Amino acid sequence: MWFDEFKSPIGKLRVAVDERGLRYVLFDSNKHPPKHISDWLLDRSPTREAREQLLQYFAGERKTFELAISFDGTEFQQRTWNQLASIPYGKTWSYSDLAIRLGSPKAVRAVGSANGRNPIPIVLPCHRVIGSNGSLTGFGGGLPIKKWLLEHEGVRLDCA
């Protein structure tokens, strides 16, 4: 696994890739850090595209990502993470909306748990998932970063 760290408007980010694609986008502090980080190799070459696309997003020049991604998780987690990519830039869905789109309308808590373990935030935009009352709820990077990301995308926050 190769990684790079760089400054962004929301703090230092670390991206990690393997031969299959982007595996992680990590904040300075993460609720569920990956294992074996000490085995990763610092190398900017394989991570260049992910870093550049994230910086373009922060500069307001990119609304979608075109990156090969690679993640490990349960079948339900993977379905949830893949569905996150369907949430349009500048829009939000509730956890209930996401559960319905997954065909499991009663799995709101499971959706929340899977969302909280998303290894590729921002690229798979879990920050666009909010409470059904419009409130900001859990986010691995912290609620101030979630708020910043949504405001960056032009989302009007009434309950934040």
Q: Is the four-CA dihedral 121, 124, 130, 131 of positive or negative sign?
A: negative
Write the CB contacts of 59 (distance below 8 Å, at least 6 apart in sequence): none
Gap between the Cα atoms of 148 and 53, Å rounded: 18
Which pair of tokens denotes residue 47?
Answer: 């991570």
Q: Is the four-CA dihedral 30, 147, 124, 102 of positive or negative sign?
A: positive
Contact predicate 25/123, CB 8 Å: yes
| Selected catalytic residue, list 126, 129, 145, 149 | 126
Opening angle at CA 81, ends 14 and 159, nearest 5: 85
Q: Is 159 among the residues known to form the active site? A: no
Gap between the Cα atoms of 119 and 71, Å rounded: 7
Catalytic center residues: 126
